[in-house]
A and B are shown apart, each in its own frame.
Chain A
C-alpha cells in the first residue's frame, strides 16, 4: 500500500465553478498521475508528473491543469467545471522508471459531479 490519499472523496459543484482535487502520497514516489474513469472508457490519463514542477499532458488534458510544488502533492484543477467532467478521478504514483518496477499504486478515487 503506497499511502495515497485523495481529497475530497466526493464533491458536487455547479457548472462554471473552479474545482481543485488533491492527491497526497507518503512514499516519496517520483511519478504521479491523474486519471478519470468513465463507463465504457476505462481509465484515461489526464496529466502526469515526473518530478517536482515537471508535468506533461495525457490523453484527455483539455479543461484540466495540474501543479506539483512538492514531491508528495499533485493537484488537479478544473478551471471552469463542465458537466462532461463529471467522473471518478483517480490519482496514482509510481516509484521507478524501469519495466520491473513500473507498478502504479492508486488512491481511493474522488467522485465529482458537475451540475
Chain B
C-alpha cells in the first residue's frame, strides 16, 4: 500500500482544458511537495506546501494543501502540451522521503 495515493493514474486532455490531480494519505505531514518528471529525466521540484489550507500558485498551476495536512491537489488552468509529464507528490516520512506513484498527464494539441 502506497503511503501517498495519487489519482488519476493517467489523464489525457485537449489543449486549453482545465484539470485537477490529487494526492491523498491517511497520514499527517509537516510538508508536501509536487514534482514534475519528463521522459528520460529525473523529477524536478515544482512547489513545497507547508501550512494546512495553504494555496500556492505557479503561473497556471495552483497547489493546495488540505486543512488537515493529509492531502493535496494540483489544478492546471488552460493546459498546454508543454504541461505533459508525470506529476509526483512526495512527503517526508521519518527520515526518508516517500513518493506517490504519480499522475501521467498528456495534453494533446
Partner-B contacts on A (CB < 8 A): 4, 33, 35, 40-45, 48, 50, 56, 58-59, 90, 92, 99-100, 102-104, 106-109
CB contacts (< 8 Å) of A56 on chain B: these are 95-96
Within 8 Å by CB of B42, from A42, A48, A106, lies A106
CB contacts (< 8 Å) of B52 on chain A: these are none
Interface size on B, residues (CB 8 A): 25
Q: List 28 A-B contacts (CB under 8 A).
A: A4-B42, A33-B96, A33-B97, A42-B6, A42-B88, A42-B100, A43-B99, A45-B96, A45-B97, A48-B95, A48-B96, A56-B95, A56-B96, A59-B96, A99-B48, A99-B50, A100-B48, A102-B33, A102-B48, A102-B92, A103-B45, A104-B45, A106-B43, A108-B41, A108-B42, A109-B40, A109-B41, A109-B42
Q: How far is the CA of A59 from the CA of B101 in the complex (A)?
A: 14
Q: Which 3 A-B pairs have the closest CB atoms?
A: A106-B42, A42-B101, A43-B99
Within 8 Å by CB of B30, from A33, A58, A99, A106, lies A99
Closest chain-A Cβ to B29's Cβ sits at a distance in Å of 10
**Residues of B28-63 whose CB lies within 8 A of A:** 30-31, 33, 40-45, 48, 50
CB contacts (< 8 Å) of A100 on chain B: these are 48, 50
Partner-A contacts on B (CB < 8 A): 2, 6, 9, 30-31, 33, 40-45, 48, 50, 88, 90, 92, 95-102
CB contacts (< 8 Å) of B102 on chain A: these are 42
Q: How far is the CA of A78 from the CA of B23 in the complex (A)?
A: 32
Q: In the complex, what residue of chain A is closest to B29 when comparing beta carbons?
A: A99
Is the CB–CB distance between A58 and B96 below 8 Å?
yes
